[in-house]
Structure 1
Amino acid sequence: MTFSEIFQYGFLVRALIAGSLVAALCAILGVFLVLRRLSLIGDGLAHVTFGSVALALFLGFRSAYATLGAIPAVLLAAFGILKLAERARIYGDAAIGIVSSVGIAVGIMLASLAGGFNIDLFSYLFGNILSISRFELSQTVILFVVVVATVILFYHDLLAITFDEELARTSGIRADRINTVLVLLTALTVVLAMKVVGIMLISALLILPAVTSLQFARGFRVAMVLAVLLGVLSVVAGIVISFLGNLPTGATIILVNFTFFAAAFALRHLRYLAGA
């Protein structure tokens, strides 16, 4: 089978489009999160997403609509992480740990009450992008537009708090509001990414393209563009390799991402040794 023949399959085309859009979102937000040392918020929100999807399925939502049912709970959890860190006077990683542990506990409890892990819930845990429907693709496109438009609208404020939050506050930027925007955008992206790589691997899709691009990029915008290119390329390559090799798609995408990171790290190290 040639690469062009892959596009004869409608489910693969949907997977490539949805996966590329989600990869771009993860890369854009991942650069902000990595530089702000909030990388693990994706993992925490992924656990909450598991609980939210379990609740949606428990309440009788069809699998295709479980994503919509999960969005309000994940947005609320993202807001809760911020408020815990601010008002309970605990560090951000502790707040993430509290919310994520509650989210996964709720998911396990609901799965138990429903008689165990069914196929739908299992696919959200480990991803099943090749089964994405037209309705889910439409959701992805709409939420992609919403997230990208919001990032463009608040770009300069997001950039300011990323590098120096205190200076941003003294400059008149409402840092609390921008922090809220960032975590809510991350929550939406996590919900989208769960069908691409699965809840268990979402944080890797947020982190790896960003840290790979930061190995070489000299400027913030260059890092963001490079992260997007690497993220999209890893998803396309991962889908094609997994389809041709009959491999799990989510895991393949992450391993391709890690290969890019390992190559970038090795190349940077060799350049350093050559310059030394």
Structure 2
Amino acid sequence: MNEIIQTLQYYMGFPFVRNAIIVGLLIALCSSLLGVTLVLKRFSFIGDGLSHVAFGAMSVSTVISVVLKQASRGESAFAKFLEDTNGMVIILPVTLLAAILLLRTGQNTKIKGDAAIAMISVGSLALGYMLVNMYSASANVSGDVCSTLFGSTSILTLKDGEVKLCAVLAAVVITVFIIFYNRIFSVTFDENFAKASGVKSDGYNLLIAVITAMIIVLAMNLVGSLLISALIIFPALSAMRLFKSFKSVVICSAVISVLCAGIGMIASILYSTPVGSTIVTADIAVFLIFSIIAAVTKRN
């Protein structure tokens, strides 16, 4: 035990480790806030669809950076800017646009919501993988794709600019959720009643989709594109095993998400396991524990 504590103290002495943990906890908190709403509104798969879109946008950003470098012989200022911001200047707008399109297309009677998500997500994933193979920035294409999809140690190599951007975006998400909490609550539980009460439900649905897109972009470095939905959904489902009120579920979900992210990242640092998979494994373990507690309490 003392050896583990000493090892942890040693790693905590590095600024990049502290930055990674701060960003990871902020991302986990943001994910949990919207997770409850997405599960209750049956929008769970929108996170999965947007994560695929973000992967496609990241591939486009990589291709643009490679092409500009080749054209300018490595002297392109914009290519360097894309690398410094990890392509965020392209990934964030594209993912936000996809969130709006998913919402609008899902309301179209010709293309249902689930079909729209499948169409956009699969198309983006296929396009992104094709672009990465055609314009690879390194020789290890399979490794790069696997790291992007399932997460890697990239969370431990965050630059100061990325940390500040993540902190700002996380602050925006948390602030918006707190300010519009009552409206989000009403739209989540009874959209028809909310409309009758004068609440602009379409606008708040759009707000939820946009915030979800921001969370997806934030979480890509932490857990990878394919595991983002788990980060959003599992804490909410775990909290729903024991609590029934919306506020209680949101608070419990936030606590679970932050604790699992912290435990997962620390375990990843100590035992050299994949960051994203370790965090999701912790979330799954908590879900199973809460499910067992719920089953036992119901019997009694």
Select the residue among 158, 163, 184 that pairs with 2:184.
Answer: 158
1:94 aligns with 2:120: no
**How do 1:125-274 residues align onto structure 2 when only pairs under 5 Å count?**
125-128=149-152, 129-273=155-299
Structure 2 spans left out of the alignment, 5+ residues: 66-81
- Cα distance in structure 2, aligned partners of 1:49 and 1:220: 30
1:218 alignment partner, SS class? coil
- TM-score (normalised: structure 2): 0.87
Instruction: Say if 1:54 and 1:121, in contact at 8 Å, map to a contact too.
Output: no
1:78 aligns with 2:99: yes
- TM-score (normalised: structure 1): 0.94
Instruction: Say if 1:53 and 1:121, in contact at 8 Å, map to a contact too.
Output: no
1:31 aligns with 2:32: no
Output the amino acid matched with 2:116: A
Output the amino acid matched with 1:102: G
1:65 alignment partner, SS class? coil
C-alpha RMSD of matched pairs (Å): 1.6
- Cα distance in structure 2, aligned partners of 1:227 and 1:4: 28
**CA offset at residue 67 of structure 1?**
2.3
What residue in structure 2 maps to residue 12 of structure 1?
Answer: 17
Instruction: Say if 2:84 and 2:159, in contact at 8 Å, map to a contact too.
Output: no
**CA offset at residue 210 of structure 1?**
0.6
The Cα offsets for residues 86-113 of structure 1, whole Å up to 9 and x where unpaired, read as 2344332221111111211220221122
Mean alpha-carbon deviation: is it higher for 5-14 or for 257-266? 5-14
Instruction: Say if 1:57 and 1:63, in contact at 8 Å, map to a contact too.
Output: no
- Cα distance in structure 2, aligned partners of 1:267 and 1:29: 24
- Cα distance in structure 2, aligned partners of 1:66 and 1:74: 12
**CA offset at residue 29 of structure 1?**
0.4
What residue in structure 1 maps to residue 68 of structure 2?
Answer: none
1:42 aligns with 2:37: no
Q: Deviation above 4 Å: which 4+ runs of structure 1?
A: 118-122
Mean alpha-carbon deviation: is it higher for 259-268 or for 108-117? 108-117
Select the residue among 121, 135, 139 that pairs with 1:114.
Answer: 135
The Cα offsets for residues 25-51 of structure 1, whole Å up to 9 and x where unpaired, read as 000000100111111110000000000
Structure 1 spans left out of the alignment, 5+ residues: none
- Cα distance in structure 2, aligned partners of 1:120 and 1:66: 15
- Cα distance in structure 2, aligned partners of 1:57 and 1:207: 29
- Cα distance in structure 2, aligned partners of 1:133 and 1:29: 27
The Cα offsets for residues 46-72 of structure 1, whole Å up to 9 and x where unpaired, read as 000000000011100316331232001
- Cα distance in structure 2, aligned partners of 1:172 and 1:89: 28
The higher radius of gyration belongs to 2
1:214 alignment partner, SS class? helix
Output the amino acid matched with 2:147: S
Output the amino acid matched with 1:113: M
